[in-house]
Structure 1
Amino acid sequence: MSHSEENSVDVDVVAARQKKIDDWLPVTASRNGKWWYSTFHNLTAMVGAGVLTLPYAMSNMGWGPGATVLFLSWIITLYTLWQMVEMHEMVPGKRFDRYHELGQHAFGEKLGLWVVVPQQVIVEVGTCIVYTVTGGKSLKKFHDTICPDCKDIRTSYWIVIFASVNLVLAQFPNFNSISVISFGAAAMSLMYSTISWCAAINKGTEPDVSYGLKATNSTDAVFNFLSALGDVAFAYAGHNVVLEIQATMPSTPEMPSKKPMWRGVILAYIGVAFCYLPVAFIGYYIFGNSVDDNILITLQRPSWLIATANFFVFLHVVGGYQVFAMPVFDMIETYMVTKLNFSPSTVLRVTTRSIYVALTMLIAICIPFFGSLLGFLGGLASAPTSYFLPCIIWLRLMRPKRYGLSWTINWICIFLGVLLMILSPIAAMRNIIMSAKDYKFFS
């Protein structure tokens, strides 16, 4: 056998092994996603239980700044999402199936990984932990509302129940196989958002409603405003899974994946506006600055409706957990089979995923105040991945004309995103320090 024939055999062996791995990994295993899968995957990833804190965020910003921040965030993140969908197949014949692959194409093999992966992991793992806490607390609220006389059960036990459900669902092999779960979660987010603003209208405005800022002094007002900015920013963390969702779409030269993907994104963003804006504006209009940081707490009646809404939140975060965990499973499993040379198998999948779910559960039980911590980490990680990293990659790869429209818009987004990344963690850190004295581990 000649040297060139040996080389071609080696290349074929490597290609065959790579194909076997791709057909097993959760992001690339199934490429027959429909455009509407993109709608509910994106809606599930975007609309977290964080939507219920938006009236509280409004109370720390006031009508003018609050409305401006909400609309601006919606527009900027839709624009950066469009950029990512466009860049997925910018190199003919190649697909950037994962956020870090696009980062590596823009910044180089090593630097690309360091720029993207730490931030993406913080957002995705952090979201899974917060959803574990939220799921446990929502189940507890549901139980306590329908049965006020029952024995009080500690939040830790509810967190374990939530994690047990996810332990089973985490065994679904790939993104397309969880589309039914994701669809259910997206429907739940629309339901509980609608319940919260309809129940607020039904209650009617408070007799002595005030729209002045919550804070009594200017220092608190500034920090509360920055913290509210963070709350709004984290409401748009879906960019961390968007390329992975697009990777599940079929693609041909005549019908590239960006067409069905973008159609789904537009519909998802209409859904996001339908969830966020009424909850934020109606909740703030009805309760003014007396609203709690979760509007369902402020709305204690009718109790059956609030219990239903809490159960819907629980169902939603179960689906949300799966959507954010899937790219993490993909990273872990890629590392296990390519770097540690494990062979792709069901045993490997069950073991790694069960350990991941167990770890997120343990952290959730130990640190039930993780939400404030995510405010800090999320400001550092979610602002870049959603607000300005796509713009930097776009400027680097597309090279739009200097001072032209595209160039200017991208620099404005980068400027606003960097401000957000610097300012919101400061406020979150202050909140953590201020309330640290009341924190109880294993509560």
Structure 2
Amino acid sequence: MVVQSSFSIEDDKYDDDGSIKRTGTWVTASAHIVTAVIGSGVLSLAWAVAQLGWIAGTVTLVLFSLITLLTSILMTNCYRYPDSIYGSRNPTYMKMVENILGGIQYKFCGLAQYTNLVGCTIGYTLTASISIVAIKKSNCFHKYGHEADCNTANYPYTAIFGIFQIFLSQIPDFHELSWLSIVAAVMSFGYASIGIGLSIAKIAEGGHHLETGLTGVVVGVDVTSSNKIWNTFQALGNIAFAYAFSMVFVEIQDTLKSNPPENQTMKKATVTGISITTLFYALCGLLGYAAFGNNAPGNFLTGFGFYEPFWLVDIGNLFIIIHLIGAYQVFAQPVFSAVESWGSKRWPQSKFMTKEYNARIPLVGTWRMNMLRVIWRTMYVIITTLIAIIFPFFNSIVGLLGAVTFFPLTVYFPIEMYLTQAKVVKYSSTWIGMKLLNGFCLIVSLVAAVGSIQGIVSELETYTPFK
């Protein structure tokens, strides 16, 4: 099926769907993927491996990587439908599900995607503030000693991060964020490398025996039997969250130019991005566990297993902050776009909704200002910041986000769309294999969600906001 359009693919200004010509390549797409995948998830991997142990921890890291790679490759062919090269474009995840699966699945996808996009921006706000506090603590420990009381409240720094995001959120659309993603991807390499380097240095130091094991933390020594179960479930969610980027996958593919075909470019970018992140994840998780043993902190760059060199710990946390500034925008932009598109279609004559004003900013250029965009995006950032202040539970929040993200968006919808797009015969070996994978991942997500919710409930019992 070839789409007929008044716009030619060869047109200098427009693509075949009438949109301004896309210019993305596999390099920019890989940068977007690395930015989206390597986020706050990498920081909890040493803790997650400690809960699972050497065998289950390693297997789980590799398994989640392979599942994410498989389902992502399946989804690249669904960007155009019904033909994967000449069909109509599906510029968003929801549009893809609507066109291929339709009906109630489209609504369920929208609920899952936007809930998780919002959740990730909350998680990134929380993690960035933790890293800001970690820099302050690191300097305090260096100056006054490791036994000093260097406790600092997170919420003022959470607010500072939110204020910065208010200004950054005024970037009009996702296609203008390539530079931000590339900077953020470099930062992610930086802090993951620092964490790996510090772990290797700590292992090389020796000095005292660190308890590690094939099955992780020991019942009766490190944790109670019930805590072992809950933490194991939560660890699965933490690892699942580490690979969460499906909710922006289609939006990333929609930035690619048409030649070569988008699905070919995106497959290359997906293999590149996931291979790079899996290598870093294995190094961070396994070396972090070797460095800290069963006492691995929930966040291995802010849990202060590392005190010295303090300046390197500071640089690592600064890289995290810069990375999360970019990652917040990668995940927030689809939410911004959805509300603004709905508003302009609902009230097309409203100047508040549709009119843009050009404002010249010295040294920056011309800023396209729209009143809906200014007010809506500002309110969104304020609300997500407040939620991050009220619920600052890193591992439990990360585990819950991973649990509710992984199954529907990374596994279920990509598989169902593939089965429809490829017209896979019902009850064939491929169909049965895909359905079994669906069932397995559903069970993993459910137990991870239960473990994370239990963690949040137990932490709420002792937590007082704004202290």
Settle same-fold status: TM greater than 0.5: yes
Residue 89 of structure 1: how far off its partner (Å)? 0.9
Residue 153 of structure 1: how far off its partner (Å)? 5.8
Deviations 1:379-421 (A, max 9, x none): 1233321123211222233232345453244223202211122
Could you say which residue in structure 1 is the equivalent of 2:48?
A: 57
Residue 34 of structure 1: how far off its partner (Å)? 2.1
Could you say which residue in structure 1 is the equivalent of 2:363?
A: none
In the alignment, the residues of structure 2 paired with residue 371 and residue 344 of structure 1 have an alpha-carbon distance, to the nearest angstrom, of: 43
Could you say which residue in structure 2 is the equivalent of 1:20?
A: none
Deviates more, 1:337-346 or 1:322-331: 337-346
Residue 117 of structure 1: how far off its partner (Å)? 0.9
- TM value normalised by structure 2: 0.84
Tell me whether 1:159 sits opposite 2:158 in the alignment: yes
Q: Of the candidates 117, 122, 126, which is equivalent to residue 124 of structure 1? A: 117
SS in 2 for 1:295: coil
Deviations 1:93-113 (A, max 9, x none): 4111111111112332x4133
Could you say which residue in structure 1 is the equivalent of 2:92?
A: 98
TM-aligned CA distance change 1:432 to 1:335, over 3 Å: same
In the alignment, the residues of structure 2 paired with residue 367 and residue 154 of structure 1 have an alpha-carbon distance, to the nearest angstrom, of: 13
TM-aligned CA distance change 1:66 to 1:176, over 3 Å: same
In the alignment, the residues of structure 2 paired with residue 270 and residue 377 of structure 1 have an alpha-carbon distance, to the nearest angstrom, of: 22
SS in 2 for 1:208: coil
Could you say which residue in structure 1 is the equivalent of 2:287?
A: 282
Alignment of 1:320-339 (within 5 A): 320-339=327-346
Could you say which residue in structure 2 is the equivalent of 1:171?
A: 170
Alignment of 1:55-94 (within 5 A): 55-91=46-82, 92-94=86-88
RMSD (Å) for aligned C-alpha atoms: 2.4
Alignment of 1:194-213 (within 5 A): 194-204=193-203, 205=206, 207-212=208-213, 213=216
Alignment of 1:8-407 (within 5 A): 31-91=22-82, 92-108=86-102, 110-146=103-139, 154-204=153-203, 205=206, 207-212=208-213, 213-214=216-217, 215-216=219-220, 217-251=224-258, 255-296=260-301, 297=303, 298-341=305-348, 342-343=353-354, 345=356, 346-347=369-370, 348-369=372-393, 372-373=396-397, 375-402=399-426, 404=428, 406-407=430-431
Deviations 1:10-51 (A, max 9, x none): xx9xx99xxxxxx9xxxx666221221101101111111221
In the alignment, the residues of structure 2 paired with residue 141 and residue 40 of structure 1 have an alpha-carbon distance, to the nearest angstrom, of: 27
Letter in 1 for 2:255: T
TM-aligned CA distance change 1:206 to 1:57, over 3 Å: farther
Query: What count of residue pairs does the alignment treat as equivalent?
Result: 417
In the alignment, the residues of structure 2 paired with residue 381 and residue 264 of structure 1 have an alpha-carbon distance, to the nearest angstrom, of: 21
SS in 1 for 2:307: coil
Deviations 1:196-237 (A, max 9, x none): 111111122462221243243433322221111111111111
CA contact (8 A) 2:31 2:182 kept: yes
TM-aligned CA distance change 1:343 to 1:76, over 3 Å: same
CA contact (8 A) 1:368 1:442 kept: no
Deviations 1:144-180 (A, max 9, x none): 3235569976322211221122122211222231111
In the alignment, the residues of structure 1 paired with residue 241 and residue 316 of structure 2 have an alpha-carbon distance, to the nearest angstrom, of: 21
Residue 378 of structure 1: how far off its partner (Å)? 4.0
CA contact (8 A) 2:238 2:402 kept: no
Residue 275 of structure 1: how far off its partner (Å)? 1.7
In the alignment, the residues of structure 1 paired with residue 172 and residue 444 of structure 2 have an alpha-carbon distance, to the nearest angstrom, of: 36
In the alignment, the residues of structure 2 paired with residue 371 and residue 328 of structure 1 have an alpha-carbon distance, to the nearest angstrom, of: 24
Deviations 1:226-275 (A, max 9, x none): 111111111111110010111111225xx321122222222211220232
- Percent identical among aligned pairs is 29
TM-aligned CA distance change 1:107 to 1:86, over 3 Å: closer
CA contact (8 A) 1:103 1:115 kept: no
Residue 317 of structure 1: how far off its partner (Å)? 0.6
In the alignment, the residues of structure 1 paired with residue 452 and residue 151 of structure 2 have an alpha-carbon distance, to the nearest angstrom, of: 31
Where in structure 1 are there 5+ consecutive unaligned residues? 1-11, 17-22
TM-aligned CA distance change 1:272 to 1:344, over 3 Å: farther
Letter in 2 for 1:420: V
In the alignment, the residues of structure 2 paired with residue 287 and residue 370 of structure 1 have an alpha-carbon distance, to the nearest angstrom, of: 19
In the alignment, the residues of structure 2 paired with residue 31 and residue 63 of structure 1 have an alpha-carbon distance, to the nearest angstrom, of: 45
Deviates more, 1:183-192 or 1:297-306: 297-306
Could you say which residue in structure 2 is the equivalent of 1:427?
A: 451
Letter in 2 for 1:266: V
Letter in 2 for 1:52: L
Could you say which residue in structure 2 is the equivalent of 1:19?
A: none
Deviations 1:103-146 (A, max 9, x none): 112332x4133220111112111110111111112112113323
In the alignment, the residues of structure 1 paired with residue 398 and residue 108 of structure 2 have an alpha-carbon distance, to the nearest angstrom, of: 19
TM-aligned CA distance change 1:197 to 1:101, over 3 Å: same
Residue 285 of structure 1: how far off its partner (Å)? 1.8
CA contact (8 A) 1:200 1:283 kept: yes
In the alignment, the residues of structure 2 paired with residue 385 and residue 153 of structure 1 have an alpha-carbon distance, to the nearest angstrom, of: 37
Where in structure 2 are there 5+ consecutive unaligned residues? 8-13, 145-149, 357-368
Deviates more, 1:357-366 or 1:319-328: 357-366
In the alignment, the residues of structure 1 paired with residue 396 and residue 207 of structure 2 have an alpha-carbon distance, to the nearest angstrom, of: 29
SS in 1 for 2:89: coil
